[in-house]
Amino acid sequence: MDNWQPREAPVTVTVPAVPAQGVETPPRVVDVFVYAATQIHRAAAEIWPGVPVELQCHVPSVTGYVHRTRVGERTLYAKTSLLGVSLVSLLRGACGPWPAVLEKQREYVQQPDGLLQREAAQLRTLADLDQPRVCAVAGLAEGVIFTEPVAGPSLGDLLFVRPGDTAELLTLAFDELRPLHRAGAALRLDPAGVIGERSISGTFLRKFNGLSGATYVERVGAERRESQTCKELAELLRGSVERLRRLRMMLPAPVGTTLAYGDLKPEHVVFSDGADGRPVLLDPGLTRAAPMVDVAKLLSRTVLLLAARQPDAATARQVLDGFGTFALARTVGMSGEGRRSSLRHLLTLWLMDTLNILTTYLSAPATLPLPPLGLALVERAVPVCRLVDSVSAELVNGPARRDEWDRALGEAMAVTS
């Protein structure tokens, strides 16, 4: 999910014309939203019978339907998931027409291994540990998870206020993950409880595999950008995807004995006790993977945040330099070749995740409300794709070099300020 607590916005839904009778069409945004809102009311009534429920404000997302909700005297965040897929995939017809989706969803919400059931279980498991601190689960029913809000600035907010402290802020976040990043930590998580849906490489392969992946690339941005821009994006994506598929073959085995938090983003790290205190983490996606997966996703989303917000050059430089210092600290003790290999893996995962999230925003139907970050990235899609194209070409066309990391951050600087 993009964020449980971003800037909230009212929803404006344009209802498409009713299709001809007998024609099977993908679900409409209005159908999905009405269903999800109804499920939130049903779930709240089941968990807290007789308590008044008010849906206060929709939180735009491309992955699930999220609503700030008043339950009695409590403010909670309610999230639904339809069939465990993103809203974009659902609305593009990946699960069939709306009647078929509803039929499948009735069975899905009863399954013990649904996406939100696993997420709730992970939050409860993490709550029993000293680290990391996570948001609290308030309830789960009817395929809806309710969580307690977490007040305070996010890591994303603080990077713009205290860019010179980037390395220290990142270190505070990763200090919370030490128990997960230790060898043997995977034994704490039942293999059936992992959330593979948020895997960087897994998502990349689902999106860009075979004929369907090629078709996806050709159509990316069709409802969000003008046709000439879409052609340029498709050309950049074709080359980048091919290179990243080759680079992926050189990644370490995805399954190990450590755990990755899996969905670590600047907006998912909230400093409720101030910038010098222990942060609280939101929206886990625990999976058996190397800690570098968490570094890669945080790097990817930080660069995208900078690209969307376009701070002044000095701020962007401080944030990227701070991230560089932090990332290099993860390789202390490695040999020269080991460090270069580790950083190449990090760069590959960074670029794959960047394409995962950017193409999701670009492929969203025009009627689906996007978060402010998504709207900004749709407009900045070409320079971001050029960044991926340039860095992936450099990674593929030569052996590991000492300056690859610095050159990649230099490319990032060009699109973030």
**What string of H, E and C letters represents the secondary structure of 140-206?**
EECCEEEECCCCCCEHHHHHHHCHHHHHHHHHHHHHCCHHHHCCCHHHHCCHHHCCHHHCHHHHHHH
Could you name the CATH architecture of 155-416?
Alpha-Beta Complex (3.90)
* CATH 3.90.1200 boundaries in the chain: 155-416
How far is residue 21's CA from residue 34's CA, in Å, rounded to a whole number?
22
pLDDT of residue 191: 86
**What string of H, E and C letters represents the secondary structure of the chain?**
CCCCCCCCCCCCCCCCCCCCCCCCCCCCHHHHHHHHHHHHHHHHHHHCCCCCEEEEEEECCCCCEEEEEEECCEEEEEEECCCCCCHHHHHCCCCCCHHHHHHHHHHHCCCCCCHHHHHHHHHHHHHCCCCCCECCEEEEECCEEEECCCCCCEHHHHHHHCHHHHHHHHHHHHHCCHHHHCCCHHHHCCHHHCCHHHCHHHHHHHHCCHHHHHHHHHHCCCCCCCHHHHHHHHHHHHHHHHHHHHHHCCCCCCCCCCEECCCCCHHHEECCCCCCCCCEECCCCCEECCCHHHHHHHHHHHHHHHHHHCCCHHHHHHHHHHHHHHHHHCCCCCCHHHHHHHHHHHHHHHHHHHHHHHHHHHHCCCCCCCCHHHHHHHHCHHHHHHHHHHHHHHHHCCCCCCCHHHHHHHHHHHHHC
Nearest residue to 357 (alpha-carbon basis) of 404, 401, 299, 311 = 299
pLDDT of residue 47: 98
| Phi, psi values for residue 300, rounded to 5° | -55, -50
pTM over 0.85: yes
Low-confidence ranges of the chain (pLDDT < 50): 1-23
Nearest residue to 336 (alpha-carbon basis) of 399, 292, 401 = 401
| Phi, psi values for residue 222, rounded to 5° | -60, -35
pLDDT of residue 22: 40
pLDDT of residue 400: 66
pLDDT of residue 18: 42
pLDDT of residue 9: 40
Other C-beta atoms closer than 10 Å to the C-beta of 255 total: 12
pLDDT of residue 12: 39
> What are the Cα distances from residue 347, in Å, to 93, 244, 284, 330, 395?
32, 10, 22, 14, 9
Cross-strand partners of 53:
71
How far is residue 245's CA from residue 212's CA, in Å, rounded to a whole number?
15
